[in-house]
Amino acid sequence: MEENQFEQIYVIIPVYNCKNYLITSVNSVLEQNYPGISIIIVDDGSTDGSSQLCDELASKYDNIITIHQKNGGVSSARNTAIDYLVNSGINNGYISFLDADDFWSPHFFDEDIVKIINQKYTLISFTSTMCDEKCKKRTSVIPIEEGLHEGGAKAVWIVSYQQHCGAMLYSIKLINDYNLRFMPTKYCEDVSFRMQCLYLTDTIYLHNSLLYYYRMNHKSAVHNRNFGISHFPQIIDTWIKTDEKMSVYANDKRGKLDEGKKIAKVLIMDMIDEHYQFFGNEKEIDIIMKSHPEYQKLLESNWGEKKQHDRYQYMLNHPIAYKVKQYCKGIFIQIKVIIMRGVIVREIVYRYRFKVPMNID
């Protein structure tokens, strides 16, 4: 097959202080038997030598470019790469997202995969797995419902929340047509982006083939977050804005997207729970709720499952019992957090969690 018969794939790799992992990540793409791949590395203000390594890679390979920017977070870095493609007038092919500490499965693009890509579906989803930091073992793969599907509100969970968003090829035309970008938060921004794409797409093809290895990096933002109120508002607002942003595209075929509000309602209650579990006081809850009246409105609404509504009603009807229950939980949770940050305990958890031997030769 001639090279011009391949759909172009632009792999976006945001980099922030990932010098020890970047070569593995980039090589996993370069070694694919698929000529239509370009890599856009966005150095997000690294300070560990990653910036120089990015430049070395770009100078060594014709299909790699590096963009440097001040540190703005992973969403900003991905959006910078998307803007680069848009400003370059590119409207065909696919975008794929690969984190700098993760990597692709070797020899992934066989004849069957290439045939699927050349059908030019709007979204193409494969599967992912989570592996330990040393890449010796991994988790079992969660299967997806293989075949062709339509998008819309009923399709936004067709790919499991546990599947990594990097295991998907996103049509550049879809992203351009709807001006899709990642929202400015460190958490859940990728799931929100994928949800918007699944809602807006006409066609999505799911294929049970393992593409993406997500490395459990204990230094990443996901594993070093703050506990309590400060962690939640950005995430809650992301989900509320997801529904608001998609509301203008609702029609009879797509339906109306309201999953964001359902998730936000759960997270608001999680925020309150966690605040008390880390021995916060009621005054701080009152302040956050008054400054975000939409949170109170969601809690009082019928959005989501009945158990979330019951959870809120229990807090209203039994405020003292509710707080005491959370305080007691908090004692055990804080002990668990301290223990889990120990190297020996982390290794024991990894052995329990990652049971499938790695085979990526």
Domain regions of the chain by residue span: 3-222, 229-344
| pLDDT for residue 2 is more than 50 | no
pLDDT recorded at residue 226:
78
Tokens representing 231?
Answer: 């962690």
Q: What is the mean pLDDT of residues 232-249?
A: 96
| pLDDT for residue 220 is more than 60 | no
Q: What is the mean pLDDT of residues 17-38?
A: 96
Q: What is the mean pLDDT of residues 244-254?
A: 97
Q: What is the mean pLDDT of the chain?
A: 91
- Residue 274 Cα to chain centre, angstroms: 22
| pLDDT for residue 91 is more than 50 | yes
Lowest mean per-residue pLDDT among 77-81, 220-224, 277-281, 326-330: 220-224
Contact of 103 with 78, CB cutoff 8 Å: no
Q: Give the β-pairing of 203-215 and 168-171.
A: unpaired
pLDDT recorded at residue 290:
95
| pLDDT for residue 18 is more than 70 | yes
- Please state, in angstroms and rounded to a whole number, the distance separating the CA atoms of residues 62 and 52: 17
End-to-end CA distance of the chain: 25
- Please state, in angstroms and rounded to a whole number, the distance separating the CA atoms of residues 323 and 3: 63
pLDDT tens for 139-161 read 999 999 999 999 999 999 999 88
pLDDT tens for 264-314 read 999 999 999 999 999 999 999 999 999 999 999 999 998 888 888 999 999
Q: What is the mean pLDDT of residues 153-175?
A: 95
| pLDDT for residue 342 is more than 70 | no
Share of the chain above pLDDT 90, in %: 80
| pLDDT for residue 27 is more than 60 | yes
The arrangement of secondary structure in 3-222, i.e. its CATH architecture, is Alpha-Beta Complex (3.90)
- Please state, in angstroms and rounded to a whole number, the distance separating the CA atoms of residues 239 and 185: 11
Contact of 183 with 75, CB cutoff 8 Å: yes
pLDDT recorded at residue 161:
85
Rg of the chain on CA atoms, in Å: 22
Confidence of residue 227 (pLDDT cuts 50, 70, 90): confident
Confidence of residue 135 (pLDDT cuts 50, 70, 90): confident
Contact of 108 with 125, CB cutoff 8 Å: no
pLDDT tens for 6-15 read 899 999 999 9
